[in-house]
Amino acid sequence: MKFYISILLISFYNLFNIGDHETYLSITELMIHENGNLEISIETTAHDFEYVYKKELNKTLKSTILYGEEYYENEDLRNYLFNHFSIENENNKIDLKIIGNEVELDGTLLIYLEGKSKKKSKYFKIKNDLLVSVLPNQQNIVNLSGTIKSSYTFNKNIRTYVFQ
């Protein structure tokens, strides 16, 4: 009987222990238009982002619920995001702007960005070390489309990559 109770308790613990998971992943989609405009979306797990934000900045992300949708304050996202994600074109850093974000019901955080490359180029240097300082198994996939079609996976050891 003790054996069955132990199995039952372990099952309940694993069922409700949703904070731990084996996969730590973000996917960034970057569309490069002929005119130099960049459209970027970053998809990651919201609770991982919150956890790392709190660990690194010693602050809690502020969220708002509007029309049944949850959003983080863009300024809070900016404080973390632009220290860990950047794009250069011909050694010129591209100014990125957060245009919005949303937390989906499944716990996915989507962040939408835009930028403008001053020069037409097929050279982009991307830094992406989102969440790796606290979550060493984190992998960050970047998919480029438009004038460059390529993909690369960043991790704790590879934080920058040049697409050409």
Q: What does 76-109 look like in DSSP terms, one character per residue?
A: HHHHHHHHHEEEEETTEEPPEEEEEEEE-TTSEE
pLDDT at 12 over 70: no
Q: Which single residue is written with the structure tokens 């040049």?
A: 162
Check residue 11 and give its pLDDT.
Answer: 42
pLDDT of 20 reads 60
Contact between 107 and 46 (Cβ < 8 Å)? yes
Domain ranges (residues) in the chain: 24-163
133-154 pLDDT, tens per residue? 999 999 999 999 998 999 999 9
- Please determine, for residue 64, whether its predicted confidence score (pLDDT) is greater than 60: yes
**Averaged pLDDT, 26-44:** 96
The band of 67, judged by pLDDT with boundaries at 50, 70 and 90, is: confident
* CA–CA dist 159, 69 (Å, integer): 32
Question: Residue 120: what pLDDT?
Answer: 77
Lowest pLDDT segment from 13-22, 70-79, 97-106, 150-159? 13-22
